[in-house]
Amino acid sequence: MKRYKAYRFVCPHVPKRHFQMARASGYFSGSSGFTLLELLVVIVLAGVIVALAVPSMRDTLTGNNLKKASRQFIGMERKLSGEAVRDQIDYILCLDLPNSAYWVVASDMTPEKQDEIKKNPQHLSSDVVILDIVGENSKKQSDGEARIKFGKNNICSPAVIHLAYEEDRMTIVINPFLGVMEIYDKYVDVPVTSSVPSNSR
């Protein structure tokens, strides 16, 4: 009865019949709570859920980082291919492999202008790194500067780009006539003259 009076005092605007119904149903009689055993069960279940969710969440975030970087390459390839044909100028995608940076120059630019653009490169998103690039003649390059030319005749340099984020890998295959042709969610050795993988690791 004391609890009923206390609630009645705090909430005077609530009709009296509501408190009477609550008291009749036993709402104000006794106290309710969780036992120690129930709390332990909830904590254990929460721990199991977190343990199961963390690896899958990590895989999702990692996959998203590599997919975001691959979308950058796809977007650049389509943009540069289209602009090269439209402007009738060869565009060159320059890749700084050790720093995973890139910039774009045109064939009609002076060396001074190209050096100026090189000083302000862009970077791949989310700490994704370029492991190596396989260019013409299946020559693999993992250091220095690599170049992919997008010609005004709608033909680009063939290339296989290997990306990495932590322990995960991705392979992007650029065909000289079809552009970005294949994307693999692992490191795959693909000859630049074919889209069929020879082996993977």
SS3 per-residue string spanning the chain: CHHHHHHHHHCCCCCHHHHHHHHHCCCCCCCCCCCHHHHHHHHHHHHHHHHHHHHHHHHHHHHHHHHHHHHHHHHHHHHHHHHHHHHCCCEEEEEECCCCEEEEEECCCCHHHHHHHHCCCEECHHHCEEEEEECHHHCEECCCEEEEEECCCCCECCEEEEEEECCEEEEEEEECCCEEEEEECCCEECCCCCCCCCEEC
Q: Which residue bears the tokens 């396989």?
A: 134
Mean pLDDT in order along the chain per 10 residues (201 residues): 48 56 54 76 80 52 75 91 95 93 94 94 86 89 93 92 93 90 90 53 48
pLDDT of residue 37: 84
pLDDT of residue 164: 94
pLDDT of residue 197: 45
Domain range list for the chain = 57-200
pLDDT of residue 196: 41
pLDDT of residue 160: 94
CA pair distance 131, 18, nearest whole angstrom: 71
CA pair distance 79, 102, nearest whole angstrom: 15
C-alpha dist (Å) from residue 117 to 11, 84, 89, 149: 71, 18, 17, 16
pTM above 0.85, yes or no: no
CA pair distance 113, 40, nearest whole angstrom: 67
Q: Which CATH architecture best describes the domain 57-200?
A: 3-Layer(bab) Sandwich (3.55)
pLDDT of residue 25: 55
Cβ-contact 158, 193 below 8 angstroms: yes
Within 10 Å of residue 65's Cβ, how many Cβ atoms?
20
Cβ-contact 128, 164 below 8 angstroms: yes
Half-sphere exposure of residue 53: CA atoms within 13 angstroms, side-chain side: 6
